[in-house]
Amino acid sequence: MTQRVAGLTMLAEYIGDEATEKLRAAFGGCQVKVPKTRAGSWWQRLVETLGERDAADFCEAFGGETVYIPRNAGEERDAIRRQVRDMLAAGMTYLEIARTLTWTVRYTERGLRKMMEARCAAAARRADDPRQMSLLQHDALRDAMFFSAERVPADARLTAAHHAGHGDI
C-alpha cells in the first residue's frame, strides 16, 4: 500500500481515519466549504457522507474555512494497475481492458508498461542485495542458460570484434 498524502494524514488527526477515508471517497480532489454552524447544504452533504458526530468534529476543527480534500492519487493509481494486471492474468486483451475501463488502448498499455518497469527495477535492487542467494551459483551455468546459441537467432550472433566496433575478424 502506498503512503497517505500529508493532507489526509492531517485530516485524520482531527476526525479519524474512517471519516477521512469517507471524505476522500466523496470529495477527493475538491474543495469543501466547511460550515460554521450546523445548517446549510454543505452541512447536509457532510452529514450524509460522515454521519452527524464526525461532521460536527470536522466543522468544529475547520468551520468557516474552505478545505481541499486530497485524492491520494498514488493509492488510486496502484489500485488501477492491480486491476489491469488481474484482467491481463484473466486473459483479457488490451482492447477488452480499455473498453471495460473506458480508456484508450495506448493508456492501458502505457500503464502496464510502467508497472512492469517498476517491478523490474525492484527485482534489480533485490539482485544486488548480498543477503540474497543466487539460484545459479556458477557463472558458467548462468551464461550457458541465458546466452546459449540455441536462444539467439543466427543473424543476431555477433563476434567479439563486432562488439568492439572493429567489424569482422
Q: What letter represents residue 116's amino acid?
A: M
Over the stretch 8-52, which tens digit does the pLDDT of each residue have? 888 888 888 898 889 888 888 888 888 988 888 889 999 998 899
In a domain, 11, yes or no: yes
Poorest-confidence range of 71-75, 122-126, 140-144?
A: 140-144
Average pLDDT over residues 115-143: 61
Same domain, 30 and 66: yes
- How many separate domains does the chain show? 2
Over the stretch 60-77, which tens digit does the pLDDT of each residue have? 988 899 888 888 767 777
In a domain, 162, yes or no: no
pLDDT for the residue numbered 96: 82
In a domain, 105, yes or no: yes
CA–CA separation, 53 vs 139, rounded Å? 65
Same domain, 89 and 53: no
Residue after which a domain boundary falls, among 71, 101, 116: 71
In a domain, 159, yes or no: no
In a domain, 10, yes or no: yes
Grid coordinates belonging to 142: 548462468
In a domain, 114, yes or no: yes
Q: Within 16-168, where are the H helices?
A: 17-27, 41-50, 52-62, 73-89, 94-101, 105-127, 139-146, 160-164
In a domain, 101, yes or no: yes
Same domain, 32 and 48: yes
Same domain, 79 and 62: no
Range of the domain at 20: 6-71
Same domain, 87 and 106: yes
Same domain, 67 and 81: no
Give yes or no for residue 161 having a pLDDT over 70: no
Residue after which a domain boundary falls, among 31, 48, 71: 71
State CA 158 to chain mean position distance: 40
Same domain, 22 and 65: yes
